[in-house]
Amino acid sequence: MRFAADEFPARALLMADHADRIENSKMHSLRLILLAVVVVICDTSAMAAQPTITIAQLERAPELDCATKLKGLIIDIDELLAKNPRNLVDVYEVFHRHFPINRCGMDEVSLIVKTSRYFRSISMNGPKMHVYSLNSETASSRGVAVSFGLTDAGELVFPFAIWSPSFL
């Protein structure tokens, strides 16, 4: 292919412009990579400057969270059962607000649940689950029976509510 004499300088300028764009693109990419490296270095040095958390603190923190959540659950359930709810959906709304509750110790859960005005019992469901029962039934009126389990892994599970006695 032959170029006209007046066409060649224009073509040379286009090629030079194209080469400049490629070079600028490479420089832009290098700048972005450099920025990413700086961000990573700054982030890791900021992380190193943060105070160290001990294993003992990590182990205690979830228990505090468990205790706080469980106390809130027991307070809300007691308040609701004192009002003689007419619908079990109200009980399940309380469950929905407080569950999941994890990383609980059996002694801690037992102490907190026993503070309920409606506490009835602690039993076992197999070798690995403690079951806590609350009940607002009286000798003269129907109530609500509430239960939930505590696994050996420290999770409160299977919140359940039923009319008590269930046959009325």
CA 52 to centroid of chain Cα atoms: 23
Asked whether the CA dihedral 94, 97, 100, 104 is positive or negative, the reply is negative
Task: Give every residue of the chain whose pLDDT is below 70, as ranges.
Answer: 1-64, 167-168
Give the model's pLDDT for residue 62.
Answer: 47
CA distances from 106 to 66, 68, 92, 149, 153 (A): 11, 15, 23, 10, 10
Give the model's pLDDT for residue 139.
Answer: 85
CA distances from 159 to 33, 100, 137 (A): 52, 10, 18
Give the model's pLDDT for residue 27.
Answer: 59
Give the model's pLDDT for residue 59.
Answer: 47
